[in-house]
């Protein structure tokens, strides 16, 4: 009986071994069959580029052509305004027909580096050297009171301007420029200018009329640079005023802020001119001039605003335009208006010199002014304007 039991157990174990072995053999055959099925398709991958056919390499260069063509730069969605520094470099490069200005590089000549350092040192303490600062136009306080008075009439403002014949002539010249002139014939008298432009129009241009004589830079080398400074300042002032007008703010502050920027740049160019005059062997460098204007305009403009005892918000707005200032921290409405004005003016001057497209410029302006109609109307004024 024991023997029978042992034999039965042995037979059971042997059967189990045979069963497991059969299952293992069957699974192995299935894996091999699957591998054989996959192998032909996998083998096709390396054979395609190895084909000697001359047509085979062509899909590689043709592939990019099948991808969606990116939209032109002019139509790309602009999310935030570009930094002002490279934009202004491009502007001066276009206006001065000097492409190297766009790069922002400085001459390697040690003498030019000495000029740069000397001017920077003088500007650092320009508040202690009143002879470097322009005098405040004597009618400016009176005009500011009149322009800021909601009850003041255009004729009353014109009467104040008429006290200074040179100022009156200057206002008429600006009123007849393409930037401000309404449709119709030329304006030949202050009274007619008031009638045609209206009180608000006179308010807009009075600051420019007051400031332009101070902004002028007589003589000197490269007279196109100070001319470009004034052109840029006037357009900045007009655009900043338009930005504030859309928001119900005081346009005169926008005008003054834009023009003070131009005035600061003129002071810098005067100091640079005098510094070169002390070094007759050193040639005038546009690269040095552009670098100084870029670095110091906002600070000098703020110094002038303080010296002239202008409202503190002007100084704050100018301070917010410093190159090192974080543009995400523009906290004042006037600072934002001035940023918009500078942006619009630079883009317009680039467009006038064939270096910017309208669609792209309007897209950039929309990052600060979402009203596309307001941007388009202002753009037509700025690009069509001829100040002189």
Residue-wise pLDDT tens digits, 206-233: 777 777 666 655 555 456 788 888 889 9
DSSP state, 134?
A: P
CB 363 within 8 A of CB 72: no
What is the residue-averaged pLDDT of the chain? Answer: 78
Longest CA–CA span in the chain (Å) reads 142
Percent of all residues in the chain with a pLDDT value above 70, rounded to a whole number:
72
pTM of structure:
0.72
Using the predicted structure, report yes or no on whether residue 14 has a pLDDT greater than 70. Answer: no
Residue 305 tokens, joined: 């605003």
> Higher-confidence residue: 36 or 376?
376
pLDDT per residue as tens digits for the range 138-158: 888 888 888 778 787 777 888
Residue 320 pLDDT? 93
Residue 219 pLDDT? 52
Residue 384 pLDDT? 78
Say how far apart CA 197 and CA 154 lie, in whole Å: 9
Say how far apart CA 290 and CA 97 lie, in whole Å: 13
Beta-carbon count within 10 A of 319 CB: 16
Q: Looking at residues 364-383, what average pLDDT do you find?
A: 94
pLDDT per residue as tens digits for the range 80-112: 888 899 999 999 999 999 999 999 999 999 999
Beta-carbon count within 10 A of 312 CB: 10
Residue 364's pLDDT band, with cuts at 50, 70 and 90, is very high
CB 340 within 8 A of CB 368: yes
Domain segments of the chain: what residues?
A: 78-131+217-384, 139-215
Residue with tokens 């004005």: 341
Residue 11's pLDDT band, with cuts at 50, 70 and 90, is low
Q: Which stretches of the chain are DSSP H helices?
A: 2-50, 59-62, 84-95, 110-124, 140-148, 154-161, 165-175, 190-215, 224-246, 251-277, 286-307, 312-319, 333-352, 358-365, 372-384
Say how far apart CA 274 and CA 220 lie, in whole Å: 10
Say how far apart CA 338 and CA 173 lie, in whole Å: 24
Question: What sign has the CA pseudo-torsion 155, 157, 162, 167?
Answer: negative
Say how far apart CA 1 and CA 187 lie, in whole Å: 137
Residue 365's pLDDT band, with cuts at 50, 70 and 90, is very high
Say how far apart CA 101 and CA 229 lie, in whole Å: 15
Which among 337, 130, 349, 120 has a CA at the least distance from the CA of 225?
349
Which among 188, 171, 189 has a CA at the least distance from the CA of 180?
171
């Amino acid at each position: 009986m024991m023997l029978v039991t042992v034999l039965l157990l042995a037979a059971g174990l042997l059967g189990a071994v045979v069963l497991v072995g059969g299952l293992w053999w069957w699974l192995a055959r299935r894996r091999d069959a699957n591998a054989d099925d996959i192998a032909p398709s996998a083998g096709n991958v390396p054979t395609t580029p190895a084909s000697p056919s001359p047509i085979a390499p062509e899909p590689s260069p043709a592939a990019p052509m099948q991808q969606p063509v990116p939209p032109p730069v002019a139509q790309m969605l602009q999310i935030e305004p570009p930094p002002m520094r490279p934009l202004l470099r491009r502007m001066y490069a276009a206006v001065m027909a000097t492409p190297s200005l766009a790069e922002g590089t400085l001459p390697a000549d040690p003498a030019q580096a000495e000029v740069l350092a000397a001017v920077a040192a003088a500007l650092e303490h320009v508040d202690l050297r009143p002879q470097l600062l322009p005098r405040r136009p004597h009618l400016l306080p009176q005009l500011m009171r009149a322009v800021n008075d909601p009850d003041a009439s255009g004729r009353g403002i014109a009467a104040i301007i008429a006290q200074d014949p040179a100022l009156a002539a200057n206002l008429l010249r600006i009123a007849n420029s393409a930037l401000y002139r309404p449709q119709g014939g030329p304006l030949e008298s202050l009274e007619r200018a008031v009638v045609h432009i209206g009180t608000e129009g006179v308010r807009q241009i009075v600051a420019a009329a007051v400031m332009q004589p101070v902004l002028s830079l007589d003589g000197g080398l490269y007279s196109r640079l100070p001319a470009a400074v004034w052109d840029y300042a006037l357009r900045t002032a007009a655009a900043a005023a338009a930005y504030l007008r859309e928001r119900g703010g005081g346009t005169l502050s926008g005008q003054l802020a834009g023009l003070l920027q131009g005035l600061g740049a003129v002071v810098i160019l005067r100091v640079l001119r005098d510094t070169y005059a002390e070094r007759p062997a050193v040639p005038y460098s546009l690269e040095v001039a552009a670098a100084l204007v870029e670095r110091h305009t906002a600070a000098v403009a703020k110094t002038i605003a303080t010296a002239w005892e202008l409202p503190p918000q002007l100084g704050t707005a100018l301070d917010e335009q410093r190159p090192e200032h974080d543009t995400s921290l523009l906290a004042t409405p006037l600072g934002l208006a001035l940023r918009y004005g500078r942006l619009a003016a630079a883009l317009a001057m680039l467009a006038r010199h064939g270096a910017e497209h309208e669609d792209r410029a309007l897209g950039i302006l929309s990052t600060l002014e979402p009203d596309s109609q307001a941007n388009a109307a202002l753009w037509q004024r700025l690009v069509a304007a001829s100040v002189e």
